[in-house]
Chains A and B, each alone.
Chain A
Amino acid sequence: MGNTSSMLTQYDIEEVQEHCNHAFSQQEIVSLYHRFCQLDRNSSGFITGDEFLSVPEFAVNPLSQRLLRMLDGLNFKEFVAFLSAFSPRISLQQKIEFLFKVYDFNSNGKVTFDDILSVLRDLTGSFISEQQRQEVITRVLEEAGYRRDSSLVLSDFMRVRMYYCFQYLYYKLSFRSLFTD
């Protein structure tokens, strides 16, 4: 797939579709490509952190820095794979795997107390004290049957009954707008 070409061939589309486990239809992949090219202003083949942050809605998100580390340097195929977790066609298991990856900062397959603390810190900022944050996490971990120094693995995440888990919010992902372009 050429970095600078603005046309996708049928072969390219199918390759991307394979890579993202058919999370998106071919039409959606073409629309995502237009969007990718729009964000990738200097046509370098990947979107830099700065280019992501030029989208104000993304920049104000509390998890933007964390996501930027996952998004930095991705080419189009990987970009689509990243977004696939948000597609309604993807199974709950795969969505939880994605959620796990967001927490598992150093990608060692384990989510520790500190990982959870780090995410909670991003989400709450200076509006909860560090002590209160630790107290909250300890309390919910113990209530769920874990100890403070336990590390959670993927199967632990699967066992937790996630209330939202991307289910009812997918319509907010305005894919329909892509068709109007």
Chain B
Amino acid sequence: MGGLDSSSMETDLDRPNIEEYLTTETIREVPKKLHLSDLLDISPTLTEAAGAIVDDSFTRCFKSNSPEPWNWNIYLFPLWCLGVVVRYGILFPARVGVLALGWIVFFAAFLPVHFLIRGHDKWRRKIERKLVEMMCSVFVASWTGVIKYHGPRPSRRPQQVFVANHTSMIDFIILEQMTAFAVIMQKHPGWVGFIQKTILESVGCIWFNRTESKDREVVATKIREHTQGVDNNPLLIFPEGTCVNNHYTVMFKKGAFELGCAVCPVAIKYNKIFVDAFWNSKKQSFTTHLAQLMTSWAVVCDVWYLEPQYIRPGEIPIEFAERVRDMISVRAGLKKVPWDGYLKYFRPSPKLTERKQQIFAESVLKRLEEK
């Protein structure tokens, strides 16, 4: 992990200290010969465990801070009530109306185009793309999205993928509004799944299933094919693999970085004053999440399209992924943590524990030789 300064005692608590776990630094300056005290004093390991119990950088990534209530006195409370009335009584119905109208127009145009225009595939796809972009704009309008795009707009070329940090499924909608991307998504149940199967199919999406182990190779093949294709929409990948709370980034999966093509980073940062856009999929369904967005004042965010990156000679895909993660984190003001997002769903690999055991075992054996 290059660039980490460990000289100060005032440790930045979000700074990843994983290197302390995986090196021999935790066992420092010990007398050479092995004594009973060395075997009995297991306090370094115990302190690490207690430290993790008290606070850990992984749980912090998925914490959504509940907003501080500000309506706590006699003149703020009526103002807040008025705000609630406006939001739920006026804005919400208006937004639902806009959304419903948008869906009707969309389907009225999409279904005929999709099923009737069979011969002229190129035209059909062009129209479908425009319609999907329009539908995403309707969605954004339905939460009063104020989105500032910085940087050059993505162009349609083969041999490139786009990567972005992930906070909620609305990331996809926000980016799709500007350019029709093909995206890789987890298969969802319910109405979202229905939309995935029908509409998003036309934009060229790739599905994966987190729980299937063989899935990774299949997906990797599909990605490779997609990037080769000339007429395909640019591919958008969220390498974190899960939604994070827009204050941190978890480790990027290397799949997008070992394709041998250009990687264009996109950084997304939401302004929390208006609404917390983090979708905690364990706590809320997507429908509840959308409803929450639609009853807030606005969704304000910044999107930065950054310079396309290529893998450098001698760089391995994981290093490339970390370099791009660095770029995105700096641009969006997010802190990096050294954890794999999938730890939300699965336990850490026993190899990590074995690594620690190996370090300890080797030090014991080495000192056993000393007399």
Contacts and interface: CB of A to CB of B under 8 A. Distances in A.
Given A59-B348, A136-B39, A127 B46 contact: no
Contact of A52 (B9, B48, B53, B339): B53
Interface stretch (B145-153, B155-163, B206-214, B356-364): B356-364
A127 B364 CA distance: 10
B38 interface: yes
Contacts of A67: 46, 49
Contacts of B31: 163
Contacts of A71: 53
A61 B47 CA distance: 10
A132 interface: yes
Given A162-B41, A166-B47, A140 B36 contact: yes
Interface string B346-360: 011000111011101
A174 B357 contact: no
B37 to A, nearest CB: 5
Contacts of A180: 13
Given A35-B55, A57-B51, A60-B356, A128 B365 contact: yes
B350 to A, nearest CB: 9
Interface residues of B, number: 49
A83 B54 contact: yes
Interface in B28-59: 30-31, 34-59
B297 interface: no
Contact of B357 (A62, A157, A163): A62
A137 B38 CA distance: 11
A71 B54 CA distance: 13
B343 A172 contact: no
A136 B362 CA distance: 13
B58 A56 contact: yes
B286 interface: no
Interface residues of A, number: 61
Contacts of A161: 37
Nearest to A122: B357
A170 B54 CA distance: 12
Given A58-B53, A137-B39, A169 B354 contact: no
B216 interface: no
B106 interface: no
Nearest to B344: A54
Contacts of B56: 55-58
Identify which of B21, B36, B348, B352 gathers the most chain A CB atoms within 10 Å of its CB. B36
B105 interface: no
Given A123-B360, A125-B361, A163-B30, A102 B42 contact: yes
Interface of B: 9, 11, 13, 21, 30-31, 34-59, 63, 339, 343, 347-348, 352-354, 356-358, 360-362, 364-365, 368
26 contacts: A55-B59, A57-B48, A57-B56, A62-B353, A62-B356, A83-B50, A83-B53, A99-B43, A99-B46, A102-B46, A128-B364, A132-B368, A136-B39, A137-B39, A140-B34, A146-B36, A160-B37, A163-B41, A165-B41, A166-B43, A166-B46, A166-B47, A171-B11, A173-B54, A175-B54, A177-B55
List 3 tightest A-B contacts by C-beta distance, closest first: A125-B357, A57-B52, A127-B361
